[in-house]
Amino acid sequence: ETGVTQTPRHLVMGMTNKKSLKCEQHLGHNAMYWYKQSAKKPLELMFVYNFKEQTENNSVPSRFSPECPNSSHLFLHLHTLQPEDSALYLCASSQAGGGETQYFGPGTRLLVL
Amino acid sequence: TQLLEQSPQFLSIQEGENLTVYCNSSSVFSSLQWYRQEPGEGPVLLVTVVTGGEVKKLKRLTFQFGDARKDSSLHITAAQPGDTGLYLCAVHFSGNTPLVFGKGTRLSVIA
């Protein structure tokens, strides 16, 4: 138990569906992250939020839309995804947005059909 | 471009053997972290090293930070099946930039 929870743990969706991934951290951290982890690729940083403000967007397609209503919650809204978007989506948090230790959730395994 | 290379990519060994995995960067970094990720879970921090030449031990795991602050190694003594997982290194290069992760070394320890 790392203090970071993610729901759902598994998700299967069609290319025309809209779904949302949820992340919650109970560590009092100020920064939250979304990563994509695919086979044969390193962890890909998608978005960073620091004190609820988005500070990084690594050229992520607009079919992925993040939302950070407060420092404890982070969402990733998904729509019109492609099969190549199938991956493990990991959420993490850290005290601030620099090089501090990141605490990861268990991830959401997403399959796009 | 700041590159981070981990080697080997895959490693399969028998229980009781020793092994070393490596993390190398093209640039100097201010700190390095090692994480282990087990199947179905997110990465979990093992150690952080910040001083060039630093050596840290965690039970059967020994972590070394290179003098030039561009590389690190993780040595496991008498590996056990419970050591199986993906070992990731992550570095902080400078300033307020987030961590950069390597591709990882996937270790399998066979009983």
Looking at beta carbons, which residues of chain B come within 8 Å of A106? 40-42
- Yes or no, beta carbons of A43 and B48 under 8 Å apart: no
CA distance to partner chain B, nearest, from residue A105 (Å) = 6
User: Token pair of B79, please?
Assistant: 């590996």
User: Token pair of B111, please?
Assistant: 């009983």
List, for residues A36-66, the tens digit of each pLDDT value: 999 878 889 999 998 888 888 888 999 999 9
The per-residue b/e assignment along A85-107, b for 16 or more CB within 10 angstroms, e otherwise, is: bbbbbbbbbbeebbbbbbbbbbb
pLDDT along chain B (111 residues), means of 10: 85 97 92 92 92 93 93 97 96 83 95 95
> Is A93 near chain B, with CB under 8 Å?
no
- The whole-number pLDDT of residue B8 equals 97
User: Token pair of A59, please?
Assistant: 């050229």
The residue with tokens 């209503």 is A69
- Yes or no, beta carbons of B98 and A48 under 8 Å apart: yes
List, for residues A54-113, the tens digit of each pLDDT value: 888 888 999 999 999 999 999 999 999 999 999 999 999 999 877 788 999 999 999 999
User: Token pair of A77, please?
Assistant: 């809204």
Looking at beta carbons, which residues of chain A come within 8 Å of B97? 98-99
- The whole-number pLDDT of residue A42 equals 81
- Mean pLDDT value across residues A18-30: 96
Q: Which phi and psi (to 5°) does residue A85 adopt? A: -85, -5
> Is A74 near chain B, with CB under 8 Å?
no
User: Token pair of B70, please?
Assistant: 């561009």
